[in-house]
Amino acid sequence: MTIFLLSSLIFLLAGLVQGLTGFGGGLVAIPLLCMIMDIKIAVPLSILSGLVITTTMAYELRRLLEWRKILPLLIGSIPGVLVGTVLLKQADPVVINRILGLLLVCISVFNLTIKPKPVNPPVIWGYIAGFFSGAITASVGAGGPPVIIYTTLHDWKKDEIKSTLTGFFVLNGYITAVVHAFSGMITPGVLGYFASTLFFVLLGTFAGSRISGRINRRTYLRIVYLLLMGLGIMMLAR
């Protein structure tokens, strides 16, 4: 019973964060879930709960979705998901967590102190970011950073960044869930945790979305990088 309660509180926080920024649900949930359950349960559980969050947000942002921005990320993520699923089943994900944590801290410190100008990277980097995001999502359930960095390097408005991330995460999430299901990662135990935390996921998502509409782009990006830095430190310290 304690694990179910803690899981519900974790997903309440994850939904709040992703509703606010358009990302971060898995990045928040995975390190905390791994303190109370095995990572091979935590990752598919986070994927399923993330689908609830991103599907809800995609419906709210449906008029802002631009497929020319989303498709390069999505296409690149498909082979990445297959690679990441193999890693989850056969490799130790701790190394991936440590590398990702170090990357998050370095990039966040740079962006919070240097204030670089948008560079508008070419679309090929969208495919590359999608691949690594898909691989990391499928293996450790926290694949947001590559696509987050790619979108924030553009001179897009806050809603453009949020809608692009949401459109990518919802479609990539369904692909990952299908691959996990066929590989046997989604078990009855995972589905039981998912059912018990569903209400809290939705509650957090709606609350975060309401807060998001009240902040400007500069504040939004600052929140994004502070969150990434904090999560990077958590991943290194686990």
Helices (H) and strands (E) in the chain, counts: 10, 0
pLDDT of residue 53: 81
pLDDT of residue 127: 94
pLDDT of residue 92: 65
CA distance readout (Å), 99 to 136, 146, 201: 11, 13, 28
Domain that holds residue 41: 2-237
How far apart (Å, rounded) are the C-alpha atoms in residues 107 and 159? 22
| Whole-structure pTM value | 0.68
The structural domain count of the chain equals 1
Listed as ranges, residues in the chain with pLDDT below 70 are 1, 22-24, 88-93, 96-97, 100, 115-116, 140-143, 212-213, 217, 238
How far apart (Å, rounded) are the C-alpha atoms in residues 94 and 99? 9
**Mean per-residue pLDDT over the chain, rounded:** 80
Q: Look at residues 120, 168, 135, 146 and name the one whose alpha carbon lies nearest to residue 22.
A: 168
pLDDT of residue 169: 83
